[in-house]
């Protein structure tokens, strides 16, 4: 009985350990196709999405941390693959339209307000970066999407508004490495 209580107390206090106290490590996703520097080990969830072109498997990796001193309470990395040739590299207008529609869709899905958005190139691929204010301005999410040939990769960091600008957000987003699908 005493050992049981001790174990429960130990379990409770160990669950309070923040991601902040852990060392950042490289996490590999989809074998070794995607890697990113993250504050803890990802959990994985796969969801099948019905689309106009058929079913797509969306893989989402996430780290939840409600106790982080940085104010970051959720890190995500999601990817899904469109059929080969869906986003031809010569079709920059189609790529830009897809990225813009995704930004708009994320604003609607989170019931948020766009704070800023920009187009850029990451690892030689077309990309978008944007921030959305959510929860009536109490929090925000910084998003980054890369269109790596026919693979869509989205990264997000949810944080309190008070901590909206902290180094860990950019450390995570800028660390991504992508290898070509084989």
Reduced DSSP (H G I as helix, E B as strand, rest coil) percent helix, strand, coil of the chain, to 5: 25, 45, 30
Q: pLDDT at residue 154 above 60?
A: yes
Cα(44)–Cα(63) distance, integer angstroms: 9
Q: Which of the 8 DSSP states describes residue 91?
A: -
Q: pLDDT at residue 82 above 90?
A: no
Structural domain that includes position 88: 2-178
Q: Where are the beta strands (DSSP E) in 22-150?
A: 25-29, 34-38, 43-51, 54-64, 72-81, 113-122, 125-134, 139-148
91-139 residue pLDDT tens: 788 888 889 999 999 999 999 999 999 999 999 999 999 999 999 999 9
| pLDDT of 2 | 37
pTM of the prediction? Answer: 0.83
For the chain, the domain total comes to 1
| pLDDT of 53 | 82
């Amino acid at each position: 009985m005493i050992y049981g209580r001790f174990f429960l107390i130990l379990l409770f206090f160990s669950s309070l350990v923040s991601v902040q106290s852990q060392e950042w490590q490289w996490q590999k996703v989809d074998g070794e196709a995607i890697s990113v520097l993250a504050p803890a080990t990802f959990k994985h969830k796969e969801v099948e999405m019905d689309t106009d072109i058929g079913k797509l498997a969306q893989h989402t990796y996430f780290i939840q941390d409600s106790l982080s001193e940085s104010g970051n309470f959720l890190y995500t990395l999601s990817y899904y693959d469109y059929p080969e040739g869906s986003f031809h590299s010569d079709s920059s207008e189609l790529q830009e339209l897809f990225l813009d529609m995704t930004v708009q869709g994320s604003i609607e899905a989170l019931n948020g307000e766009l704070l800023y958005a920009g187009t850029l190139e990451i690892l030689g691929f077309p990309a978008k970066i944007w921030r959305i204010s959510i929860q009536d301005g109490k929090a925000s999410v910084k998003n980054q999407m890369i269109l790596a040939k026919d693979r869509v990769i989205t990264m997000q960091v949810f944080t309190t508004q008070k901590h909206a600008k902290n180094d860990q957000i950019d450390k995570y987003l800028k660390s991504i490495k992508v290898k070509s699908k084989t």
